[in-house]
Every structure is written in C-alpha cells, then in structure tokens.
Amino acid sequence: MILCAMYSLGAFTVQDIRSVESYPDPFGSHFTGTLVDSVMEGRGEIVYKNGDRYKGEFVNGEYHGDGLFEAAAGWSFEGRFSRGLPNGLGVFKDENGGVFEGFFEAGKITGEGIFESPSGWVYEGMWEQGRQIGEGVFTYEDGSEYRGGFEYGVASGAGVYSDAAGWFFEGGFLHGLFDGEGALTFANGETLKGEWESGSFISER
C-alpha cells in the first residue's frame, strides 16, 4: 500500500491519497483502486456482496465517467455515468439477451437509440424515460415494418406500416390502429383510400 499526503498551506487542507489492492467495507464489498480522504476517486473496481460489480471511473465516491456495471442478475451497462447513474451514450444488455445502444439521462433511456430483442424484433428511434416516444422504426420478427410516430411504445400519429405479406398502409395511427385519413394498398396493387377509425374503414374520400 502506497501512502502520500498533499498539503495546501493556503487553505490548510490535507488529502490522504491511498492506492490499495483491496479495501473491504462493513457491508461486505471490496474496492480496488484509489481512495482520497477514504473516498473512491479516479479509476477503480468495486465488487459487492451480492455479486454486482462496477469497474471504471469514480468521482467523490460515485460512478462518474466511463465504466462498466455488471449485475449478478445477468444484466449490464457499459458507457457514461454521472453521479452514480447511466448518463450519455451507453450499451445496456438485459438478462434475457436484449441489447440497447443509445443515450441515457439520469438512468433512463432518453434520446436516440436502438433496441434489439432476443426474439428478433428491433426498434430504432427516439425514446423518453425508457419508452418509445417520437419518430422511430419498428421491425417485426417476420420482416414487417412500421415507420412513423410513437407514443408510449405504440404507433400513434402519421406513419407507414408495411406487412411481410406485401400490403401496406400509409396514414394516421392511434393506439396502434389505423385512425384518421389513410390509404391501404393491397398486395395486388388495389388501394382503399379514405377515413379510418380504430382500425376499421369508415368512408371513402
């Protein structure tokens, strides 16, 4: 263990900087890295009693900067942290095999990003507080695709749904259903254009 002290005569402060190999705390976790006044600072690694671990940068005892958090439950986050939470660009892998790459704000998926599910569907677009809100593209397992507006994870607003069977709908959506003015084009090229409500055709226009 290396000990040194830095003195600032003007402010009469002392920093006790310790480079340690293993620092156990009363809660059963172990920290490897640098302590400043007994607080984690700079690069280091902490392993918790339950098996969770974090390796990366610390500021004032909190995850801050680039780092990797791996949960014993099977999920992980690698990217930017701020005051202990994912903040900025990062990659989140859930315990089921899903992968999200994009932006986080105060621990929540917020901004642009792409999520690939283990079952094969993919969403790429805007997020807010962990939900699909704004413009995006949802690709289904069979290759069908919706491109347009989302609200709380559901197609809402103007968009285009293209089915793997060859037909597509372009127009308004509400709660995931055709709603408002729109045109349904069948695989044979015929088109049904007009007003829709809750997924049902109401009248031609």
Mean pLDDT on 181-192 = 97
Token pair in block for residue 84: 């202990």
pLDDT tens sequence across 143-175 = 999 999 999 999 999 999 999 999 999 999 999
Count CB neighbours of 96 within 10 A: 10
Count CB neighbours of 33 within 10 A: 21
Reported pTM: 0.83
**Chain centroid offset of residue 79 CA:** 11
Token pair in block for residue 36: 């400043």
Share of the chain above pLDDT 90, in %: 81
pLDDT of residue 125: 97
110 pLDDT exceeds 50? yes
Domains of the chain and CATH, by start:
1-117 (2.20.110.10), 119-205 (2.20.110.10)
Say how far apart CA 171 and CA 203 lie, in whole Å.
14
